[in-house]
């Protein structure tokens, strides 16, 4: 029987083991409560696609960011919180249900202002609980970009969705869709063709059968853009979308580009349209006063015609149909029905959407390339909302400072660097500007305090001497005999791992400088396909020429010098070539033919030269500019002769890959930056898990692993810099560990940092503040199962096993990380009328080894950690010993005093009892009481409060202050503290003497009275019991 039982259990456990092995190497639980932190920056924020206000509550405002998700404000835009962090972060439109705006929210993903760097959406979402939970609405998976959602105010189950659709390919998913059952079923009710999408949809709220739709024929490639075609037009339906008529009366015909339309909320007959025609006489703003039947051309000013693909939003004042605002380079406002316009006030350029407060048209919100701005005076002056960390990094890098800095360039917001941690958190003022325009790569010189940065297309590459505050432009330039250099909009640069002053840049050639960019040598032939048909950017744009340089193609995009051999350099191009030199550029091998499973000419977005072997490298490819969103990543271990894919089916089929980062220790640990978030593998790419702990599925453009800290630093295109601190536990994770009930991970010794924490949070009330790296000891363990039933505790013990403090354990399945701030306990303070704030100072432990003891049910698990002093400290070991000894002495003294006061209090309580109940003992008891009270008044505060009505400090306060001062200091004990200690020791000795004297005199009489009358003595706990905590 027994045997049978045992066999059964074994079978059961082996079953679990098998199951665990199958499931163990992926899944959310792998990461437990390991979580990302966001450091912004928010001071320049990022591109906004859409702003939506609440129909009845002026405090509530929603923002759809181009790459940073949906944010909600409940305070008129002073602060925002993200509400869409589990889904694609590129947002086209946010719409509230007119009848139930607090609960029902629609979000169409995929930004609609179609610049070269736009991200992609993945469908339509609906929340029925104010944004807490979202459901994907089936049928829009391939919509890529949703421009419009309109809802019938009388029947909010009737919804129309305008799909702009794919930017880089044909798509039959474009068109206007209609549901009459709140989104369960849909019909496509207007479709023109695979290259013509919906720019705007309008509904007449007074007669919801009347609809307008503007259609736009457009296409982007990696090397050009084409806006315009015969299919672009405005359509109108008067039967709720059953039939549509193309509006032609007085309107321009033939090839048209993007068309933005808007209806005056106060008079739905009035329709405004901005039409891209390419002809001065018809370009710009049109107005109809009869619901679209006839039209008048009003204005072709720059502000009304600039870059229609980027700025076509018109907004009409909710009350006055003649106040019209339009997005643009500066944004424009008309107060005469569109005849004349003036610029909106100063704010970040590139205005994509403007909305007016529902009650007060003086308040205007504007969505720009640099976040949300707010005007209080009808658009003359604007202030930035400081709370939206939507910065769009193209690239980041890190240095080795303490704390390390993060460097990077942003879409339309220049180049920056800032600390990964700062006192009080990473605030706006911690960031430093190091470049103008669109910023891309920013690199720190390996040994000097010099920063390289660049603006678009290497128009400027700066070498910035931080100490001297001097800037030199150092970009490679053509010399006699050179062809014209083609630099990518996001031109690659790299610094050498071997020669500190060596600096690489890529045009179609690889350029090398050994003097920090002063002079350059071309060390390669043209490494691209040099396909001339992809080099005609002067004619890009379609009806409106748009040759910003953003479409420059057939260029080098990534440069990777091996950290094992300076002669090995990998190069990837935007037109699909992978090239390698192993002799410092003398000869090059084109490896493109050896790639497996990569469609021809697919953009080589990043090559990572491995530290695990000279011939080992990773390359990631992305084809989104041809409409191919599939993830591609390859690994070679033989200098590119053969490659194998490291992509598994765990990765979203549309999460195209922009970056890969290998771990420097464990070759099987890899991080993949995709358009839809971060993926991690711990088995070399067989299984991948999406990292979702405080990490939205935002586009991760670049990843770096900070070597000293093992922090994974991500440059995201929409949510700024996101960091996962110390990924080393992932290095150690194996199937064996995952099958243990509890496993502690090895951690490096922890440093008790002594840095000053002066910060001052002035002005940060409504500002985004980046989260700091936790500098406490991090105790990391794995739990096979979440702890829910029974007791679980963690305590820190010294190496002899004495308890030092207890910690709050994490109980998640997977990895748990908890902090210990190196503190033991605070001393027990004497009781008084007021609080002694020095009692908040806990004792810090000395450096050394400590035990972490985890108790779970009946099981106990133990693990040793090591604590170090700060190497940057100015204190010697001897001085430290003195400080620690004195701290301990004062700690004990504070508790001695606490116990003495406790004894006094208990004795006084007893004396009071006698005074009240035993007339015979009253006199002696009163004497004792009074003597003790006189003493007590010198020991502790007996009047006043904890603020400005406080009494003069007594011995407890003086002693406590000295304790707190010495204990919290990292430096040697000052002469002043030593002298003060002598004084306080003496005062305390005197007090003890006084107490003794009282107890020998008045106390004796009192006690003998108690004895004679058989009255119990005061119940005084032992000192040990009194000091027991908890």
Partner 1 sequence: MKILKTLTIAFLLTAIAPVSAQTADEILNNYFENTGGIENWKAIKGIQFEGKVNFQGMELPVEMIQTKDGKSMAKASFQGQNFYQNVFDGETLWSTNQMTMQEEKSDAEATGNYKNEINDFLSPFIDYKQNGYTVELIGKETIEGTETYKIKLVKEPVMVDGKEEQDISFHYFDTENFVPIVVEQEVKSGPAAGMVSQTKLSDYQEVSGLYFPFSILEGAKGQPGGQAITITNIILNPEVDDAIFAFPVTETNPVIKE
Residues found near partner 1 in the complex (CB under 8 A): 1, 4-5, 8, 12, 27-29, 32-33, 35, 37, 57, 59, 72-75, 79-81, 102-103, 129-130, 132-133, 694, 765, 771, 774, 783, 785-792, 805-808, 811-814, 819, 823-826, 829-832, 834-836, 839-840, 842-843, 945-947, 949, 1029-1030
Phi, psi for residue 456 in degrees, rounded to 5:
-50, 135
Please state the closest distance from residue 8 (CB atom) to partner 1, in A: 6
Please state the closest distance from residue 387 (CB atom) to partner 1, in A: 9
Residues facing residue 522 across a β-bridge = 511
Pick 736 or 945: Cβ nearer partner 1: 945
**CA-to-CA distance for 256 and 254, rounded, in angstroms?**
6
Pick 279 or 892: Cβ nearer partner 1: 892
Pick 835 or 877: Cβ nearer partner 1: 835
**CA-to-CA distance for 37 and 598, rounded, in angstroms?**
34
Please state the closest distance from residue 735 (CB atom) to partner 1, in A: 17
Could you write out the three-class secondary structure of 4-51?
A: HHHHHHHHHHHHHHHHHHHHCCCCHHHCCCCCEEEEECCCCCCCEEEE
Task: Report the chain's terminal Cα–Cα distance, integer Å.
Answer: 47
521-522, strands of its sheet edge to edge? 493-495, 503-506, 510-513, 521-522
Please state the closest distance from residue 26 (CB atom) to partner 1, in A: 12
**CA-to-CA distance for 552 and 459, rounded, in angstroms?**
12
Please state the closest distance from residue 972 (CB atom) to partner 1, in A: 24
In terms of C-beta density within 10 A (0-12 exposed, 13-18 middle, 19 or more buried), how is residue 533 classed?
Answer: exposed
Please state the closest distance from residue 823 (CB atom) to partner 1, in A: 5
Residues facing residue 215 across a β-bridge = 198, 233
Residue count of the chain:
1030
Pick 335 or 813: Cβ nearer partner 1: 813
Please state the closest distance from residue 28 (CB atom) to partner 1, in A: 5
Please state the closest distance from residue 831 (CB atom) to partner 1, in A: 3
Q: With left for phi above 0 and alpha for psi between -120 and 50, is residue 1000 left, alpha or beta?
A: alpha
Pick 352 or 719: Cβ nearer partner 1: 719
Pick 604 or 845: Cβ nearer partner 1: 845
Please state the closest distance from residue 840 (CB atom) to partner 1, in A: 6
Name which of 425, 428, 470, 429 is nearest 451 in CA terms: 470
Please state the closest distance from residue 691 (CB atom) to partner 1, in A: 13
Pick 9 or 874: Cβ nearer partner 1: 9
**CA-to-CA distance for 1027 and 659, rounded, in angstroms?**
57
**CA-to-CA distance for 689 and 672, rounded, in angstroms?**
10
Please state the closest distance from residue 426 (CB atom) to partner 1, in A: 14
Pick 940 or 991: Cβ nearer partner 1: 940
**All residues at 6 or more sequence positions from 107 whose CB lies less than 8 Å from its CB, including other chains:** 64, 70, 84, 87, 91, 93, 94, 95, 124, 125, 126, 127, 134
Pick 40 or 224: Cβ nearer partner 1: 40
What are the tokens at 859? 């099981």
**All residues at 6 or more sequence positions from 138 whose CB lies less than 8 Å from its CB, including other chains:** none
Please state the closest distance from residue 710 (CB atom) to partner 1, in A: 18
User: Which stretches does DSSP call E strand in 514-602?
Assistant: 521-522, 541-542, 556-561, 569-573, 578-581, 589-590
Please state the closest distance from residue 101 (CB atom) to partner 1, in A: 12
Please state the closest distance from residue 125 (CB atom) to partner 1, in A: 14
What are the tokens at 743? 């496993």
Torsion sign, CA atoms 186, 189, 195, 196: negative
Pick 130 or 265: Cβ nearer partner 1: 130
Please state the closest distance from residue 1008 (CB atom) to partner 1, in A: 30
**CA-to-CA distance for 278 and 202, rounded, in angstroms?**
25
Q: Where is 62: in which H helix or E strand?
A: strand 61-65
Specify the DSSP class assigned to residue 392: B
Strands 541-542 and 224-227 come out as parallel
Pick 572 or 696: Cβ nearer partner 1: 696
Is the separation of the CB atoms in 476 and 485 below 8 Å? yes
Pick 384 or 783: Cβ nearer partner 1: 783
Pick 17 or 840: Cβ nearer partner 1: 840
Is the separation of the CB atoms in 607 and 636 below 8 Å? no
What are the tokens at 14? 């082996």
Please state the closest distance from residue 794 (CB atom) to partner 1, in A: 11
**All residues at 6 or more sequence positions from 315 whose CB lies less than 8 Å from its CB, including other chains:** 262, 324, 325, 326, 353, 354, 355, 356
Is the separation of the CB atoms in 70 and 82 below 8 Å? yes
**CA-to-CA distance for 521 and 510, rounded, in angstroms?**
8
Pick 81 or 799: Cβ nearer partner 1: 81
Pick 32 or 40: Cβ nearer partner 1: 32
Pick 95 or 856: Cβ nearer partner 1: 856
Scan for tokens 């669109």, then name that residue.
Answer: 438
Please state the closest distance from residue 743 (CB atom) to partner 1, in A: 14
**CA-to-CA distance for 893 and 989, rounded, in angstroms?**
10
Please state the closest distance from residue 797 (CB atom) to partner 1, in A: 16
Pick 35 or 927: Cβ nearer partner 1: 35
Pick 920 or 1028: Cβ nearer partner 1: 1028
Residue 599's alpha-carbon distances to 171, 595, 624, in angstroms, are 20, 9, 12
**CA-to-CA distance for 768 and 426, rounded, in angstroms?**
9
């Amino acid at each position: 029987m027994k045997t049978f039982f045992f066999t059964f259990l074994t079978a059961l456990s082996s079953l679990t083991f098998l199951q665990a092995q199958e499931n163990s190497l992926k899944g959310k639980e792998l990461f437990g409560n390991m979580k990302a932190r966001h450091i912004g920056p928010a001071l320049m924020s990022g591109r906004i696609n859409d702003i939506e206000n609440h129909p009845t509550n002026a405090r509530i405002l929603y923002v759809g960011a181009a790459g940073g998700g949906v944010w909600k404000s409940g305070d008129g835009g002073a602060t925002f919180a993200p509400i869409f962090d589990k889904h694609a972060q590129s947002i086209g439109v946010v719409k509230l249900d007119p009848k139930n705006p607090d609960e029902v929210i629609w979000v169409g993903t995929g930004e609609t202002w179609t610049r070269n760097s736009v991200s992609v959406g993945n469908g339509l979402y609906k929340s029925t609980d104010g944004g807490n939970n979202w459901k994907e609405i089936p049928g829009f998976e391939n919509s890529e970009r949703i421009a419009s959602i309109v809802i019938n105010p009388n029947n909010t189950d009737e919804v129309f969705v305008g799909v702009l659709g794919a930017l880089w390919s044909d798509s039959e998913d474009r068109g206007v869709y209609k549901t009459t059952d709140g989104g369960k079923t849909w019909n496509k009710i207007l479709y023109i063709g695979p290259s013509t999408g919906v720019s705007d949809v309008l509904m007449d709220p007074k007669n919801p059968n009347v609809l307008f739709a503007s259609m736009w024929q457009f296409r982007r490639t990696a090397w050009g853009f084409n806006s315009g075609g015969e299919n672009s037009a405005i359509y109108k339906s008067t039967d709720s979308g059953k039939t549509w008529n193309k509006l032609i009366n007085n309107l321009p015909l033939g090839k048209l580009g993007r068309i933005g339309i808007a209806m005056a909320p106060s008079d739905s007959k009035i329709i405004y349209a901005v039409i891209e025609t390419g002809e001065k006489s018809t370009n710009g703003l049109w107005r109809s006063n009869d619901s679209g039947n006839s039209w008048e051309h009003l204005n072709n000013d720059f502000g009304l015609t600039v870059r229609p693909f980027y700025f076509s939003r018109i907004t009409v004042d909710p009350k006055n149909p003649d106040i019209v605002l339009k997005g643009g380079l500066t944004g424009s406002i008309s107060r005469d029905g569109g005849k004349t316009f003036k610029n909106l006030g100063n704010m970040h350029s590139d205005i994509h959407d403007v909305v007016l407060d529902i009650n007060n048209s003086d308040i205007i919100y504007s969505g720009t390339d640099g976040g949300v701005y707010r005007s209080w005076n009808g658009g003359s002056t604007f202030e930035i909302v400081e709370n939206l960390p939507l910065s769009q990094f193209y690239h980041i890098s890190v240095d080795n400072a303490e704390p390390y800095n993060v460097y990077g360039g942003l879409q339309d917001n220049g180049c920056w660097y800032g600390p990964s941690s700062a006192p009080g958190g990473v605030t706006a003022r911690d960031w430093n500007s190091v470049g103008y325009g669109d910023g891309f790569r920013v690199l720190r010189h390996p040994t000097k305090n010099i920063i390289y940065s660049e603006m678009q297309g290497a128009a400027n590459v700066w070498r910035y001497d931080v100490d001297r505050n001097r800037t030199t432009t150092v970009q490679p330039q053509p010399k006699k005999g050179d062809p014209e250099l083609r630099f990518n909009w996001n031109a690659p640069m790299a610094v050498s791992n071997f020669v500190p002053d060596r600096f690489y840049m890529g045009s179609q050639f690889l350029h090398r400088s050994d003097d920090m960019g002063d002079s350059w040598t071309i060390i390669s032939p043209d490494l691209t396909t040099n396909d001339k048909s992809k080099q005609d950017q002067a004619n890009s744009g379609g009806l409106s020429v748009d040759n910003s340089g953003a479409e420059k193609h057939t260029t080098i995009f990534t440069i990777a010098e091996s950290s094992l051999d300076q002669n090995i350099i990998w190069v990837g191009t935007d037109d699909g070539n992978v090239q390698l030199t192993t002799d410092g550029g003398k000869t090059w091998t084109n490896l493109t033919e050896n790639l497996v499973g990569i469609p021809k000419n697919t953009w080589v977005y990043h090559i990572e030269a491995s530290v695990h072997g000279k011939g080992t490298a990773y390359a990631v490819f992305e084809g989104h500019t041809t409409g191919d969103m599939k993830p591609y990543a390859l690994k070679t271990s033989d200098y590119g002769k053969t490659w194998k894919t490291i992509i598994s089916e765990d990765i979203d089929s549309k999460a195209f890959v922009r970056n890969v980062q290998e771990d420097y220790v464990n070759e099987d640990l890899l991080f993949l930056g995709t358009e839809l978030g971060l993926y991690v593998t711990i088995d070399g790419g067989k299984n991948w898990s999406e990292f979702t702990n405080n990490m939205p599925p935002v586009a991760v453009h670049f990843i770096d692993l900070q070597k000293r800290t093992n922090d994974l630093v991500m440059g995201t295109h929409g949510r700024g810099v996101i960091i996962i601190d110390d990924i080393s536990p992932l290095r150690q994770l194996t199937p064996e560990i995952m099958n243990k009930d509890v496993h502690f991970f090895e951690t490096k010794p922890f440093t008790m940092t002594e840095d000053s924490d002066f910060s001052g949070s002035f002005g940060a009330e409504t500002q985004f503040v980046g989260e700091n790296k936790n500098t406490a000891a991090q105790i990391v363990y794995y739990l096979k199962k979440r702890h829910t039933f029974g007791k679980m505790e963690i305590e820190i013990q010294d190496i002899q096993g004495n308890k030092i403090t207890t910690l709050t354990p994490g109980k998640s399945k997977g990895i748990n990380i908890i902090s210990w701030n190196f503190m033991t306990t605070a001393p027990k303070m004497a009781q008084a009328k007021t609080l002694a704030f020095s009692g908040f100072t806990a004792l810090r432990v000395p450096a050394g080894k400590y035990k972490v003891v985890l108790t779970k049910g009946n099981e106990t698990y133990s693990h040793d950690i090591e604590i170090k002093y700060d190497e940057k400290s100015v204190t010697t070991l001897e001085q430290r010993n003195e400080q620690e000894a004195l701290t301990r002495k004062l700690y004990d003294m504070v508790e001695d005093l606490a116990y003495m006061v406790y004894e006094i209090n208990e004795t006084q309580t007893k004396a009071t009892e006698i005074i009240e109940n035993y007339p015979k003992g009253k006199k002696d008891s009163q004497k004792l009481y009074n003597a003790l009270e006189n003493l007590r008044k010198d020991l502790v505060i007996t009047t006043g409060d904890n603020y400005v009505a406080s009494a003069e400090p007594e011995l407890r306060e003086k002693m406590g202050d000295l304790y707190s001062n010495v204990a919290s200091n990292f430096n040697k004990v000052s002469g002043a503290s030593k002298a003060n200690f002598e004084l306080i020791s003496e005062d305390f000795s005197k007090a003890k003497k006084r107490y003794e004297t009282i107890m020998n005199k008045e106390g004796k009489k009192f006690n003998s009275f108690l004895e004679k009358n058989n009255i119990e003595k005061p119940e005084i706990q032992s000192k040990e019991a009194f000091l027991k905590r908890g």
